[in-house]
Amino acid sequence: MNPIPNAYTFGDTRVFLTITSGLVEYLTEEEVNAVIAHECGHIACHHVLYHTMASLIKTGADIFGLLGILTTPVELALLYWTRRSELSADRAAAVAMGSAQPVVETMVRLSGGPKTITALKALAAASILDSRNRFLYSMSYNLILAHSIIKNQALFVYILLLN
Protein backbone atom coordinates (compact mmCIF):
# COMPACT_ATOMS: atom_id res chain seq x y z
CA MET A 1 0.00 0.00 0.00
CA ASN A 2 1.34 3.38 -1.02
CA PRO A 3 -0.67 6.53 -0.19
CA ILE A 4 1.14 8.65 -2.82
CA PRO A 5 -0.73 8.79 -6.15
CA ASN A 6 1.68 7.50 -8.79
CA ALA A 7 1.96 5.20 -11.79
CA TYR A 8 4.87 3.94 -13.86
CA THR A 9 5.87 1.36 -16.42
CA PHE A 10 9.00 -0.75 -16.41
CA GLY A 11 10.65 -3.24 -18.75
CA ASP A 12 11.15 -3.35 -22.49
CA THR A 13 10.19 -6.77 -23.82
CA ARG A 14 8.21 -7.84 -20.76
CA VAL A 15 6.57 -4.59 -19.74
CA PHE A 16 4.48 -4.06 -16.64
CA LEU A 17 2.49 -1.12 -15.39
CA THR A 18 2.18 -0.22 -11.72
CA ILE A 19 -0.37 2.08 -10.10
CA THR A 20 -0.32 2.84 -6.41
CA SER A 21 -3.27 2.41 -4.08
CA GLY A 22 -3.04 6.17 -3.44
CA LEU A 23 -3.76 6.83 -7.12
CA VAL A 24 -6.80 4.57 -7.07
CA GLU A 25 -8.10 6.16 -3.88
CA TYR A 26 -7.46 9.76 -4.94
CA LEU A 27 -8.70 9.79 -8.55
CA THR A 28 -12.03 8.99 -10.16
CA GLU A 29 -12.36 5.99 -12.47
CA GLU A 30 -12.05 8.18 -15.58
CA GLU A 31 -8.93 9.86 -14.17
CA VAL A 32 -7.35 6.48 -13.39
CA ASN A 33 -8.15 5.43 -16.97
CA ALA A 34 -6.39 8.57 -18.25
CA VAL A 35 -3.30 7.72 -16.18
CA ILE A 36 -3.31 4.14 -17.47
CA ALA A 37 -3.73 5.42 -21.05
CA HIS A 38 -0.75 7.74 -20.50
CA GLU A 39 1.39 4.85 -19.25
CA CYS A 40 0.24 2.68 -22.16
CA GLY A 41 1.39 5.53 -24.42
CA HIS A 42 4.88 5.11 -22.98
CA ILE A 43 4.70 1.38 -23.68
CA ALA A 44 3.41 1.81 -27.24
CA CYS A 45 6.13 4.37 -28.04
CA HIS A 46 8.85 2.20 -26.43
CA HIS A 47 9.83 4.98 -24.05
CA VAL A 48 10.59 2.65 -21.16
CA LEU A 49 13.99 1.55 -22.52
CA TYR A 50 15.19 5.15 -22.91
CA HIS A 51 13.82 6.22 -19.54
CA THR A 52 15.78 3.34 -18.01
CA MET A 53 18.94 4.36 -19.90
CA ALA A 54 18.61 7.95 -18.64
CA SER A 55 18.20 6.71 -15.08
CA LEU A 56 21.21 4.37 -15.32
CA ILE A 57 23.43 7.07 -16.82
CA LYS A 58 22.43 9.47 -14.03
CA THR A 59 23.10 6.85 -11.37
CA GLY A 60 26.45 5.93 -12.94
CA ALA A 61 27.46 9.57 -13.18
CA ASP A 62 26.62 10.10 -9.51
CA ILE A 63 28.72 7.08 -8.50
CA PHE A 64 31.81 8.16 -10.44
CA GLY A 65 31.83 11.73 -9.13
CA LEU A 66 34.02 13.99 -11.26
CA LEU A 67 34.29 11.41 -14.04
CA GLY A 68 30.50 11.60 -14.21
CA ILE A 69 30.83 15.09 -15.68
CA LEU A 70 31.82 13.38 -18.93
CA THR A 71 28.30 11.97 -19.23
CA THR A 72 26.63 15.37 -18.79
CA PRO A 73 25.92 16.02 -22.52
CA VAL A 74 24.30 12.59 -22.91
CA GLU A 75 22.40 13.03 -19.66
CA LEU A 76 21.06 16.43 -20.73
CA ALA A 77 19.99 15.07 -24.12
CA LEU A 78 18.14 12.18 -22.46
CA LEU A 79 16.46 14.53 -19.97
CA TYR A 80 15.31 16.74 -22.85
CA TRP A 81 13.98 13.65 -24.62
CA THR A 82 12.28 12.50 -21.41
CA ARG A 83 10.23 15.72 -21.24
CA ARG A 84 9.21 15.24 -24.86
CA SER A 85 8.27 11.61 -24.22
CA GLU A 86 5.80 12.78 -21.58
CA LEU A 87 4.03 14.90 -24.20
CA SER A 88 3.94 11.92 -26.59
CA ALA A 89 2.39 9.77 -23.87
CA ASP A 90 -0.13 12.54 -23.14
CA ARG A 91 -1.14 12.66 -26.80
CA ALA A 92 -1.48 8.88 -26.90
CA ALA A 93 -3.67 9.06 -23.79
CA ALA A 94 -5.84 11.75 -25.40
CA VAL A 95 -6.34 9.53 -28.45
CA ALA A 96 -7.13 6.50 -26.28
CA MET A 97 -9.57 8.50 -24.13
CA GLY A 98 -11.23 10.05 -27.20
CA SER A 99 -10.52 13.58 -25.97
CA ALA A 100 -7.79 15.69 -24.41
CA GLN A 101 -10.20 16.86 -21.70
CA PRO A 102 -9.88 13.89 -19.28
CA VAL A 103 -6.11 13.79 -19.70
CA VAL A 104 -5.70 17.49 -18.95
CA GLU A 105 -8.14 17.37 -16.04
CA THR A 106 -6.20 14.44 -14.56
CA MET A 107 -2.88 16.27 -14.88
CA VAL A 108 -4.34 19.38 -13.29
CA ARG A 109 -5.86 17.26 -10.53
CA LEU A 110 -2.54 15.55 -9.82
CA SER A 111 -0.81 18.92 -9.66
CA GLY A 112 -3.27 20.73 -7.46
CA GLY A 113 -5.35 18.70 -5.06
CA PRO A 114 -9.09 18.30 -4.57
CA LYS A 115 -11.61 18.87 -7.35
CA THR A 116 -12.92 22.02 -5.69
CA ILE A 117 -9.57 23.67 -6.43
CA THR A 118 -8.61 21.94 -9.68
CA ALA A 119 -11.97 22.54 -11.36
CA LEU A 120 -11.16 26.26 -11.31
CA LYS A 121 -7.73 25.58 -12.85
CA ALA A 122 -9.32 23.54 -15.64
CA LEU A 123 -11.80 26.35 -16.35
CA ALA A 124 -8.97 28.89 -16.45
CA ALA A 125 -7.02 26.71 -18.92
CA ALA A 126 -10.11 26.35 -21.10
CA SER A 127 -10.69 30.10 -21.19
CA ILE A 128 -7.06 30.70 -22.19
CA LEU A 129 -7.41 28.18 -24.98
CA ASP A 130 -10.59 29.77 -26.27
CA SER A 131 -8.64 32.93 -27.04
CA ARG A 132 -6.21 30.99 -29.28
CA ASN A 133 -3.55 33.54 -28.43
CA ARG A 134 -0.23 32.70 -30.12
CA PHE A 135 1.67 34.61 -27.46
CA LEU A 136 0.32 32.30 -24.76
CA TYR A 137 1.22 29.32 -26.94
CA SER A 138 4.77 30.60 -27.16
CA MET A 139 4.94 31.32 -23.43
CA SER A 140 3.61 27.89 -22.44
CA TYR A 141 6.05 26.23 -24.85
CA ASN A 142 8.96 28.07 -23.22
CA LEU A 143 7.73 27.18 -19.74
CA ILE A 144 7.67 23.51 -20.72
CA LEU A 145 11.27 23.76 -21.90
CA ALA A 146 12.43 25.54 -18.77
CA HIS A 147 10.37 23.73 -16.13
CA SER A 148 8.64 20.40 -16.33
CA ILE A 149 5.64 21.56 -14.31
CA ILE A 150 2.56 19.43 -14.73
CA LYS A 151 0.11 22.33 -15.03
CA ASN A 152 2.16 23.81 -17.88
CA GLN A 153 2.25 20.39 -19.49
CA ALA A 154 -1.54 20.22 -19.27
CA LEU A 155 -1.90 23.59 -20.96
CA PHE A 156 0.61 22.63 -23.65
CA VAL A 157 -1.22 19.35 -24.42
CA TYR A 158 -4.49 21.26 -24.78
CA ILE A 159 -2.90 23.76 -27.14
CA LEU A 160 -1.16 21.06 -29.18
CA LEU A 161 -4.31 19.05 -29.63
CA LEU A 162 -6.67 21.94 -30.32
CA ASN A 163 -4.53 24.09 -32.67
Q: Are 36 and 19 in contact (CB under 8 A)?
A: yes
Q: Which residues contact 67 (CB under 8 A, 6 or more apart)?
A: none
The DSSP secondary structure of 27-47, one letter per residue, reads S-HHHHHHHHHHHHHHHHTTH
Is the pLDDT reported for residue 4 higher than 50?
yes
85-142 pLDDT, tens digit each: 988 999 999 999 998 888 888 887 887 666 666 555 555 655 555 444 444 444 444 4
Question: pLDDT at position 40, please?
Answer: 94
The average confidence (pLDDT) of the chain is: 75
Q: What value does the mean pLDDT take over residues 8-22?
A: 88
Q: Which of 77, 74, 86 is nearest to 144 (CA)?
A: 86
Question: pLDDT at position 53, please?
Answer: 76
31-57 pLDDT, tens digit each: 999 999 999 999 999 888 888 877 777
Question: pLDDT at position 52, please?
Answer: 80
Question: pLDDT at position 5, please?
Answer: 87
Question: pLDDT at position 18, please?
Answer: 93
Catalytic center residues = 39
Question: pLDDT at position 135, please?
Answer: 46
Question: pLDDT at position 96, please?
Answer: 94
71-84 pLDDT, tens digit each: 778 778 887 888 88
Question: pLDDT at position 137, please?
Answer: 46
87 or 163, greater pLDDT: 87
Separation CA 111–CA 109 (nearest Å): 5
Separation CA 78–CA 156 (nearest Å): 20
Sign (positive/negative) of CA torsion 24, 156, 159, 131?
Answer: positive
